[in-house]
Structure 1
Amino acid sequence: MTGELVQAPRGDLALPLDLPPIILDLTRAWLWSYDSPHTREAYERNIRRWFQFCAETGLDPLEARKPHGDVFSRWYQETARRPPKPKTVAQVLSSVSSWYEYLHETEALDANRFKKTRRPKIPRKHSETVALTKGEAQDFLRAADADHGRERLRTAALIRLLLQTGIRISEAINAQIDDLGFARGYRTLRITVKGGDTITRRLPVETTHTLDIYLAERARREGIELQDLTGPLFATSTGQSWSRSKAFELVRRIAMQAGITSKVGPHSCRHTYASLAQEAGVAMRQIQLDLNHADVSTTEIYLHSRDRLEKDASQVVASLLE
């Protein structure tokens, strides 16, 4: 294998030139089988790492076996610019295994021999994403409300929406103004979730208030009536959809302005929502529904309980035995 690359017709993936044409086509089909563009980007990035490893070691990827996967895992960890976290390594290996599984399912290979590659152990209920305390979350909201500049109203509306509903950043920036609505007396937002399905979430009064102020200002700038305003719910100054990277930068900046020293990103808002809801006594099933998790075990990862010592049952049991 030479490692020479050829660009796909749509510019969607650079692949090793000497892979059989059917494998090139199946690889593109494998990537496009995922609905989320972010998943496709991540899987493309990870399969490129595997092809790079194959090129450097002279390995034909169609002849790879479990030992090659094990060596690749070590190679990836040692060649990364910064030591990758176990979860990252596991995700890379999972991506490559998914590629082989697709080739196997489409009968291009007789088996997925990469499947049993050893992967780092990851604590089932561990997450490195930061969840804010109630006080930090309140400071975060205050900092957003006090932001400066032309788009300060957009800042306040976005931060409050993320914190008070727990929706994903992609769901927020992909939402359209037409997705706002009413149902049974509640203000609602229809969002497109992972997999392409749509669900409707109830908006708190406080969230609705900041959104209304923001949208009214947008309409004023455009010189139109509020009811005639269309386009993305959160738009750039030119009316285009806001990017994830810009939204991420905004969340980080507001967190710093709030005096929060931990590494906060948009996903921290989801973790904060789940943790505060649990602390307030909301049922696990409801939190799972709010976050649109298929499995409650995923929801449990989002919970950062701070009162485990207080709730520890040891004193209760000890009292029973006295």
Structure 2
Amino acid sequence: MTAELAIVEQDGRLSLPFDLPPLVLDLTRAWLWSYGANTREAYERNIRRWFDFCAQSGLDPLEARKPHGDVFSRWFVETARRPPKPKTVAQVLSSVSSWYDYLHEAEAIEANRFKKTKRPKIPRKHSETIALTKAEAQALLRAADADRGRERLRTAALVRLLLQVGVRVSEVVDAQIDDLGFARGYRTLRVTAKGKKPLIRRLPVETTHALDVYLSERARLEGVELRDLRGPLLATSSGRPWDRSKAFELVQRIARQAGIESKVSPHALRHTYASLAEEAGATMREIQLDLGHADVSTTEIYVHSRDRLEKDTSQLVASVLE
């Protein structure tokens, strides 16, 4: 773990604004490590926000009650550098409640009294991520294929994986060359989805070709046979794993080169995959399995976020008023 809570110790004590019993510290480490890297990072960041609030309020976090959680919610909104979205506030409160649930299940506390803290209401099918249109997606692929520089082949492979397979950027960054395989005559990629769940995805011919060209060139530069190439599926020029933030910057740059005005992120390409799959006739269940969602309602959010603009009835109202 990279964050201070579980790694950085000063004089044998963890770097926290107050003391916690050794048992609670051990349980906190176990709680964080029960999640994947991305969730773990987010949960640790959120629990530290709660600890900061407790320190400023003179509150022992093990004595917290619902009113403290309600005040914390307002404190978080008012002290943020920019007003957080309701979904962000809800996620922070959910993280803290999850910590208390874990302590309660381990019998370190009598009950999770934080659980009833008021949380912002989030529409069930709400998402602020907007999918690309088919034309925009095609333009993005062309821009990726036409990219320049020594890493242009990696660019083409990344964008096709995100757009044509719909994998999470973290899944691409964490994937290894050994995760490529074959099954029933199809080229496949094994990724680790949320909850550390293994997921085997079939790769389209176009994606496979982009990967093969990239990996062949990489093997040539490293002076090895393609079959002997090892390491991250997509690597830096030095062969190290790629950083998610760099992938985010690359997608934004390619989107600008494609002439796409809206904000484009790797997650928007995952939404695009879901939306284009639905438009092409895939069932919601099929898309759910592709994306590795535990609940189909999550998948519906991805498709709904794309439909809401195309199906906005404002055009119908405007037409009857002309």
Fold-level similarity (TM above 0.5)? yes
The reply to whether residue 14 of structure 1 matches residue 44 of structure 2 is no
Q: How far apart, CA to CA, are the structure 2 residues paired with 1:39 and 1:246?
A: 19
Report matched runs for 1:1-322 at 5 Å: 10-11=7-8, 14-34=15-35, 36-303=36-303, 304-305=306-307, 307-308=310-311
Residue aligned with 1:192, SS? strand
Calculate the TM-score normalised by the size of structure 2. 0.90
Give the number of aligned pairs: 303
Instruction: Mark the CA change 1:55 to 1:132 in structure 2 (over 3 Å): closer, same or farther.
Output: same
Q: How far apart, CA to CA, are the structure 2 residues paired with 1:169 and 1:125?
A: 22
Instruction: Mark the CA change 1:169 to 1:8 in structure 2 (over 3 Å): closer, same or farther.
Output: closer
Note the aligned Cα RMSD (angstroms): 1.6
Contact 1:15–1:24 (8 Å) recurs in 2: no
Calculate the TM-score normalised by the size of structure 1. 0.90
Contact 1:162–1:270 (8 Å) recurs in 2: yes
Shift of 1:235: 0.7
Q: Which ranges of structure 1 fall in alignment gaps of 5 or more residues?
A: 1-6, 311-322
Q: How far apart, CA to CA, are the structure 1 residues paired with 2:310 and 2:115?
A: 40
Instruction: Mark the CA change 1:201 to 1:258 in structure 2 (over 3 Å): closer, same or farther.
Output: same
Q: How far apart, CA to CA, are the structure 1 residues paired with 2:23 and 2:137?
A: 52
Q: Percent identity?
A: 76
Contact 2:236–2:242 (8 Å) recurs in 1: yes
Residue aligned with 2:16, SS? strand
Structure 2 counterpart of 1:110, which letter? E
Q: How far apart, CA to CA, are the structure 1 residues paired with 2:119 and 2:243?
A: 33
Q: How far apart, CA to CA, are the structure 2 residues paired with 1:50 and 1:301?
A: 29
Contact 2:189–2:200 (8 Å) recurs in 1: yes
Residue aligned with 2:139, SS? helix
Structure 1 counterpart of 2:162, which letter? L
Q: Which ranges of structure 2 fall in alignment gaps of 5 or more residues?
A: 314-322
Match in the other structure for 1:318: none
Q: Deviations over 1:208-239 (max 9, x none)?
A: 11111111111111122222211111011111
